[in-house]
Structure formats: structure tokens, C-alpha cells
Structure 1
Amino acid sequence: MTDRTTDTDHTTDTDRTTDTDGAADLATEVFVAHRKVLFTVAYEMLGSAADAEDVLQETWLRWVKVDLGLVSDRRAYLVRIATRQALNRLRTVKRRREAYVGQWLPEPLITAPDVAEDVELAESMSMAMMLVLESLSPTERAVFVLREVFEVGYEEIAEAVGKSSGAVRQIACRARRYVGARRPRRSASLGETRAALESFQRALQTGNPQDLLDVLAPDVVLLSDGGGVKRAALHPVIGAEKIVRFYLGGSAKVQATIAWEPTVVNGSPALAVYVGGELDGVMAVRVEAARITGLYFVRNPEKLTHVTSETPLTLR
């Protein structure tokens, strides 16, 4: 018997291939369009760019399997997938960070000027705020970030974290009170932070102890993160005089090899620290009433990979 394949059969196969290719192209287009907000959500939840990138990869692998014809709000759906993956990873890294050598600080990101101008975004991802978020449980952090930072509705958050809407409201209220009690009483403006940082930089360069004492609050706290690789204080250094000795205690020869250059980290003015011409760390600050109340010094080389170029971030 002669094998007879009709034109209709050929057309069907071609159409299926075309439909598959078209769906893949659309999935890619939608994912790329929302990639910045997905990265921002994951980073705010994890405090690590490397972990955030892994979450995006996991989100993509799940997204390409979704029938987009059944998705009414693609951004919300993607955020939900990313949140679930970030929650899974956050529970894992929480245990890992408990064994971290010394102080753990978020991975600093060089950000564009428009991030610094977005007060809400800049405050939510400041080193000080990220450390407050670090002390929340994984679910509390996810709920707080989605509700307070990204203004996601309670119903959507409930689907993302696997809780009822009522439970999410309670978690949000509890997390809001916790964060509110620990965030700066009055957020310093961009200009105030920049002015305090410039005074701090000049004092370090001149090596004048009194100039440093003038810009540091009496109860200022220094947290330094060497990750067990670079020298850093294993515990917080508290008090202006102790911090002055910490930074000006080295020899004049060593001090001469250190350069402090202005940059913008996590939406706020910061300093990139170079030793012998090589990047050695990043210093972020918290400013209240025109004086520095918090210093966050990241020296762990694994956390300095995103301070050579700007990382695009957005809330929308």
C-alpha cells in the first residue's frame, strides 16, 4: 500500500512548530521586560546578588513551562514564582549565614543615580535596612518586602508565600512594627548623607582624629565583613573613639597606600576603598542628624563582584 501523507498533515506539523516557537519568544520577551523588578525582589529578600541571579534562573525554568494564555497578569505571576524561589533559597542561606565567619553584611551593588533619587527604593535597599530585614524570619521578610516595598496586594502575597490572606495581614503588621522600631528615626537626605561622607573621607585622608570625632556620632557602630578571607573585626566596634583608633592605628606608610573614592552603593553615597591601587572594599554609612551612626565595611572579595558596574534596579 502506498503511504499517502496529506498536505493537511504537513500543515499541522508546521503550525505546531510555529506555535511552540512563538510561545517561547513571547515567554522570553515577557521575562526580559520584567527582569529588573524580579532581580530587585530577589535581592531585597536575599541581600545577595549571586543568590538573586540564581533565583532568576530558577524562575525562568519554571516560567517557560507556563501556558501564557492562562495568565492574566504576567508580572504578578512572575513575581510570585520569584518569591517562592527566593523563599526556598532564603531558608537555606539563613542556616549557612549562622556559620559565617565574623559579621555578615549584604552584598553591595553599584547603582545608577536614578536609584538614589527614588527615596523609597534607596531606603529599602540601604545597608542599614537590609540588616534589619535580615533579622526577620524568611516569611516575614518576603511579606514585608512585597507589601511595603513593592505594594503587592495581600491576596497575591498569600499565593506567593502559601498563607491565607488573613495570616499575611497579621505577618505584615508584625513585620512592620518590628522594622519601624529599628529603622532610623529620620532618614537623612541624599545631600546630608553625601556631606557627612565627604567630611568622613577628608578626615581619613588627613588622618586628623578630631575631624573624625566631629563627623562620627558618639555611639556610632562599625560592622566589617571579611568573610574569613580578609582582615575584619569579628564583632561590632562601638563608639567613635574606638573606631578612630581602628582606622588611624596603622603606620603612616600603610595609610599612604589607602585611597577612598566616592561611589553610590545601594542607592546611597558610599566609598570604594583601594589599597595599593586595588579594590579592597566598600564602605556604606548610615547618617542621622548630620552625623554618621553606622559604618558598613564589606571586604569579602566574593561580595565585591558587583561594584565594578551599575546594577539596574526598579520597583515597577
Structure 2
Amino acid sequence: MTKELIWEAGRRTVRMESDAVAALENRINGDFQRACEMIMQCRGRTIVTGMGKSGHIGRKMAATLASTGTPSFFVHPGEASHGDLGMITRDDVVIAISNSGSSSEVLTLLPLLKRLGIPLISMAGKTDSPLAQAAEVNLDISVETEACPLNLAPTSSTTVTLVMGDALAVALLEARGFTAEDFAFSHPGGALGRRLLLKVEDVMHAGDELPQVTPATRLSQALLEMTSKGFGMTIVANGEGELLGVFTDGDLRRVIDQKVELDKATMGEVMSRRPKTVSTDTLAAEALRIMEDFKITALVVEDKTHHPLGVLHMHDILRAGVI
């Protein structure tokens, strides 16, 4: 094949599958609404099943539903006939996928699902198929033709099925009021979970690690405190422990340029007032944004009465994987 023929085959596939997906929009109708209502009313889990390529799509669909607030898992129809049907309870709802609507392994399950009174949603490409006729509601996933030039390999049909599954998941997500924090709780091990769940209190330094001096402390002594704690800054607080200001490496460069005498100047004279602060329940990702916006590397963590509780350094956030 020439380069041009290869490019054309790829572009034709994209074009055909795109057209098939576009045709789905008119099928988001009463049947789609009814399917969503059935899943919302389900007291158990949403069980997805399908054979072959439909099964592969079904696994992804179940995973998407589960991660967006709809408890779900995939059951292989062949295995269901040999014991795995026990994974399905009367409180569940089943989504059965078959483009032809005639997959024998899926049809074998129908009498058992009916006997248990389990609601059935079908995703079939033929509305007069046995599967579609047996279901309480059918979501039409038909396509005019597969992108495969032989019109045999599931291509456009699996893409349409995948998109219909995503449409279900998103509609249910919005209906449930599912939030970004809810999503993060189901993804605690990833970068997303760290960004949405990790708070300042989880990574800040407190107690003896906190660099702190008083307004009367000589600059030379404050530098020793900064060096020993290693944050490139120190908090300045009064006798009642209230935050008055900070002194940073940047402030040190400024006072050196001004020829300030290190042994005579006090922190009350050289500190920066009104420092940037955060609370313990601030998201670490938000703290990082503040640091980036103001081009600083550390933040003071304070309580509601403006008493310093800790210090947060940019390196702590980066080490925690919040990027």
C-alpha cells in the first residue's frame, strides 16, 4: 500500500466512526431517561455483561460507572452460566450488551434474570432482537455499517457502544451530584487523588520543626534559627504567639543591599509584614498555586486566631506528588 492509501484508510475509519457517534445524539430520549432512572432506583449494583468485543466494552463501562458514583462490575456471561450468576442479586440491575441482540451466552441468562425479577437494560443494535425484546428498555446502538471494509470486525458498533456507556455514566454522575472530591476518593492512589484530597495539615511542618523568633530577636540570631530549621525563612510572633510577619532569604538579600548591620537590627525592623498564609484544611494543590502566583517557596500555616501552627514548603508538596 502507498502512503496515500494508508492515510485514506485511517481517515475513512475516523470519519465513519465519527458519523456513527453523531447519530447517537437523537437516541438520547425517553429510553435513555428510563435506563438512568432504573439505575438510580437500584438498591444494589449495576451489573454489565456482554460477549466478545461487547464484553471488552462492558468491562470499561462498568469501570467508568464505578468510578463516577454508580457501584458496578462486569460479569462474563459464559462464566455466569457456570456459577458466577451467584454474583448477581435481586437488588441489582443488569445491562446486557450485544450488537446483534442474539448472543447465545447472553440470551441463556435471560430466563434466570426474569425469574429473579432483576431489571434488564439492553444495549442492542437490533430493536427486534430477542435481547431487546426481553429488556425493560433498550438503548439503540445500531450503526449503518462498520468501519471495517468487510463490514465484519466490530469497529463503529463498539465505538458507539462505548460512547453510549459514557453518556449513561455522565448523566448518572450529574443526577447524583457527584463531585470532584467524590471522584478522588475512588482514585486515592493517583495524582488526581493527591491533588483533590491531600491537605496542608498532611504535609506541613509543626512543633519543634517550626522556625520562630520574636520581634526583639537580633537578625544574626534569626539567621541561625533559619539555618537550623532549613526552610529559608522564619516566622516572627509576639509573646502571645500571634503571627506578626516573616523573614525569608529574599528579605536577607534586601537588608544586605541596604547595608543593614546584622548584629544590631531586630526582626521587628526588617521582617515582612502580612505574610501569605493558609489554614490546615487548605488543599495542598491550592497552597501550591498560591506559592506559584506570588513566587514564594513557603507558606505559614495559621489558625483562625492568627497563631502560627506550622510551615509548608514547596518541596513538601512536590514530594507528596501534587503536581
Greater length-normalized contact order (CA 8 Å, ≥ 6 residues apart): 1
Whether TM exceeds 0.5 here: the answer is: no
TM-score interval for Structure 1 and Structure 2 normalised by the shorter chain: under 0.3
Structure showing the higher helix proportion among its residues: 1
